[in-house]
Amino acid sequence: MSKFGGSNNKKDVPGISSGSLSDIVFMLLFFFMVTTQLRETENKVIVKLPQATEVAKLERKDLSPYINIGTPIRSLQGMYGTDARIQLNDSFKTIDDIRDFIAAERDAMSEADRSYMTVGLRVDQDVRMGIVSDVKQELRRCSALKIMYSARKPAE
């Protein structure tokens, strides 16, 4: 391995072995693979989560559909304006679509898991509560009663 220095080296300085470099990068890779999760949908709204100190972790990540509420991203503002909108899966939806969304999510779960479904509300911190209240009322009507207000822990 120390031979790749070339033949024009006059002094016999051994080259730095780069064999372990890949190991280091692999370690970085594993770190990121463990701490992150795949982004399943593309964000179409800007969501800056509000801060809260008393957050609790979600036990079952796979059992939580997400409802995103926020201002459309910059490139879509020309089309949709800057008012807060609801994003379900990959597109903008209205309050009335939540019912179908929840029903579809329920169907995708196994019978036993349905009662554990927790709807995550990922809402931008500058959104007014009116739209959030509407969503909550609609969720109550669909009897999806377990919800979670997503929040981030403030940096200490």
Partner 1 sequence: MGKKKTPGINSSSTADIAFLLLCYFLMTTTMGDQAGLHRRLPPIPDKEQKAQDQKVNRRNIIIVRINSADRLFAGNEALDVSLLKDKIKEFIANPTDDPNLPEKEMKEIEGLGMYPVSKGVISLQNDRGTSYQAYISVQNELVKAVNELRDEFSMQRYGKKFDFLDEDKQDIVKKAIPQNISEAEPKDVGGKKK
Binding-site ranges for partner 1 (CB under 8 A): 1, 4, 18-19, 21-22, 25-26, 28-29, 32-33, 35-39, 49-58, 61, 64, 118, 120-130, 132-134, 136-137, 139-141, 143, 145-153
How many angstroms separate the CA atoms of 21 and 44, rounded?
Answer: 38
| Residues contacting 41, CB < 8 A, separation 6+ | 66, 89, 90
* Nearest distance, CB of residue 68 and partner 1, angstroms: 12
Kindly give the interhelix angle for 97-108 and 129-141, rounded to the nearest 10 degrees. Answer: 50
Compute how many other C-beta atoms are within 10 angstroms of the C-beta atom of residue 149: 13
For residues 79 and 123, which CB has a smaller minimum distance to partner 1 in the complex? 123
Q: Which is nearer to partner 1, 82 or 146 (CB)?
A: 146
Pick the closer one to partner 1 by CB: 49 or 79.
Answer: 49
How would you classify the pairing of strands 85-88 and 91-93? Answer: antiparallel
Q: What minimum distance in Å lies between the beta carbon of 13 and partner 1?
A: 17
Closer residue to partner 1 in complex, CB, 52/108: 52
CB nearer to partner 1: pick between 3 and 78: 3
> Least distance from C-beta 55 to partner 1, angstroms?
4
Least spacing, CB of residue 33 vs partner 1, in Å: 6
Residue among 95, 99, 139, 89 at smallest CA distance from 119: 139
Tell the residue number behind the tokens 């479904």, with chain if given. 117
Catalogue the long-range contacts made by 20-28 (C-beta closer than 8 Å, 24 or more residues apart). none
